Amino acid sequence: MGRLFLLLFKYRAMLVFVLLEILSSWMILSSDLSVSASAFNSSNQIVAKIILFSNATQNYFGLTTLNQELAHENAKLRQELTSLQQSVINTSNLKVDDTEIISQYEYQDAKVINNTTQWLNNYITIDKGSSNGLAPDMGVINQHGVVGKIHSVSKHYAVLVSLLHNNVLVSSKIKRTGTIGTINWGGSDPQIADLKYIPRHISPSIGDTIVTSGYNAVFPEDIPIGIIEAVELKEDKNFNDIKVKLENDFTKLSFVYVIKNKLKIEKDSIEFENFILDTNE
């Protein structure tokens, strides 16, 4: 108790000054309405700015959670859309009743946590792994189209080979004509890829949409890839030289969807068996 009195005595001048300041401020505000109103408005503005800053901060840090929730919801909606598309063959009234075919594809949302675009062979890291059911060779897309496919997984992470990888080949088709080709990145411009093996008797047009063919077990049919930007046919070549502007801007990847094809093993197995038979005959 004695120490408290000593502390108050030591700072008595400062305490008296503060008390007098408070008293004088109260007397001024009480005696002059204009000054009081001005002070009240100023304090309101300060409080309002503090509240706005607090709300903005909370909203900013809440965006990550919101984006994750939206990505998860989009994955569910995409899965339902794919199931609906699988249940109808082309545009006819013939429907597929096999539930395994209808529910062939599942989608797992994930966040990109590392990504390169400057190399000849580029990779992407996502925050989901084997504990989420991910495995090598699963296709990966986002809301714009094809992103790549899984190369390797750990328990909590997966590394993808990006579409911007010189060794990645994606079975594709010109949507307007149905002509099958292969998309392969040329290694220079991250926005441009090559569409290969389109025969010279086919006449692609600038502006034609390129989508996945569905011929492999990695990507479903009709996933967007890009738009034809340039076409050239040389006299001594059997195939068109076609440049495709990719739908995805790979410098801005955020959330992606991993495609789980539940019938992939069955498809790969029967194709491999027939390949072995052909080579042994």
Condensed to tens digits (0 to 9), the pLDDT of residues 242-256 reads 999 999 999 999 999
Whether residues 141 and 225 share a domain: the answer is: yes
Comparing CA positions, the residue from 164, 159, 156 lying closest to residue 124 is 159
Q: Is the pLDDT of residue 9 over 90?
A: no
Instruction: Judge whether 98 lies within some domain.
Output: no
| Per-residue pLDDT, 35 | 47
> Average pLDDT, stretch 194-206?
96
> Average pLDDT, stretch 21-50?
56
Nearest-angstrom CA–CA distance, 104 and 80: 11
> Average pLDDT, stretch 14-36?
65
Whether residues 43 and 117 share a domain: the answer is: no
Instruction: Judge whether 264 lies within some domain.
Output: yes
Whether residues 42 and 143 share a domain: the answer is: no
Whether residues 117 and 41 share a domain: the answer is: no
Q: Is the pLDDT of residue 211 over 80?
A: yes
Domain of residue 261, CATH code: 2.40.10.340
- Total structural domains within the chain: 2
Whether residues 138 and 270 share a domain: the answer is: yes
pLDDT tens digits for 84-95?
Answer: 555 544 444 445
Comparing CA positions, the residue from 224, 182, 176 lying closest to residue 204 is 176
Instruction: Judge whether 68 lies within some domain.
Output: no
> Average pLDDT, stretch 176-191?
96
Instruction: Judge whether 30 lies within some domain.
Output: yes
Whether residues 112 and 17 share a domain: the answer is: no
Cross-strand pairs, 76: none
Comparing 262 with 56, which gets the higher pLDDT? 262
| Per-residue pLDDT, 50 | 61
Domain boundary among 36, 52, 68: 52
Q: Are 103 and 262 in contact (CB under 8 A)?
A: yes
Amino acid at 58: Q
Cite the beta strand spans of 11-135 per DSSP E: 105-115, 121-126
| Per-residue pLDDT, 59 | 54
Whether residues 143 and 236 share a domain: the answer is: yes
Whether residues 18 and 148 share a domain: the answer is: no
Measured in residues, the chain has a length of 281
Instruction: Judge whether 252 lies within some domain.
Output: yes
Q: How confident is the model at residue 17 (pLDDT cuts 50, 70, 90)?
A: confident
Whether residues 34 and 143 share a domain: the answer is: no
Q: How confident is the model at residue 104 (pLDDT cuts 50, 70, 90)?
A: confident
Instruction: Judge whether 176 lies within some domain.
Output: yes
Instruction: Judge whether 123 lies within some domain.
Output: yes
Instruction: Judge whether 42 lies within some domain.
Output: yes
Domain boundary among 52, 76, 92: 52
Whether residues 113 and 218 share a domain: the answer is: yes
Percent of residues, the chain, with pLDDT higher than 70 = 65
Range of the domain at 159: 108-274
Nearest-angstrom CA–CA distance, 202 and 209: 15
> Average pLDDT, stretch 188-201?
96
Report angle CA 177, 183, 188 to the nearest 5 degrees: 135
Q: How confident is the model at residue 265 (pLDDT cuts 50, 70, 90)?
A: confident
Comparing 64 with 173, which gets the higher pLDDT? 173
Whether residues 116 and 219 share a domain: the answer is: yes
pTM of the model: 0.69
Q: Is 116 left (phi over 0), alpha (psi -120 to 50) or beta?
A: beta
> Average pLDDT, stretch 163-186?
96
Whether residues 123 and 261 share a domain: the answer is: yes
